[in-house]
Amino acid sequence: MFRRTFWFTAGAAAGVWATTKVNRKLQQLTPESLAAQAANKAIDAGHKLKDFALDVRAGMIQREEELGEALGTNAPPDPELPAQRRRPAIERPAPVKNTRFHHSYNRNEDH
């Protein structure tokens, strides 16, 4: 009698365990759950991509500083030299406004 009770209880427990496992797996496979999982993975990928971009930017800034030091472009300018002036490569005269005629470029205008 004890044997039968033991195996009946063991079978019932195995059935409950298997039913619970199957129900959890079915819940994971619903469209809402799959969409949530995909969204979470996309967010994680975005965070990893952002971290990578920040690391690349930090490395780029560090390398630019190293190159600036090696080339001497980070040094302050010599106070004895005059300040650098910037001029346009080609000087254009100011446009002359023709006030005699007024042309409209709107083709839909009735004349």
Place of tokens 């952002």: 50
pLDDT per residue as tens digits for the range 79-93: 777 776 677 667 776
Report the C-alpha gap between 3 and 11 in whole angstroms: 12
| DSSP code, position 84 | P
Question: Does the pLDDT of residue 76 top 80, yes or no?
Answer: no
Give 68's contacts (C-beta < 8 A, 6+ positions apart): 74
pLDDT per residue as tens digits for the range 9-24: 999 999 999 999 999 9
Q: Reduced to 3 states, what is the DSSP secondary structure of residue 38?
A: helix
Cα torsion through 105, 107, 108, 109, rounded to 10 = 60
pTM of the model: 0.46
Question: What pLDDT is recorded for position 71?
Answer: 86
Question: What pLDDT is recorded for position 67?
Answer: 92
Report the C-alpha gap between 6 and 3 in whole angstroms: 5
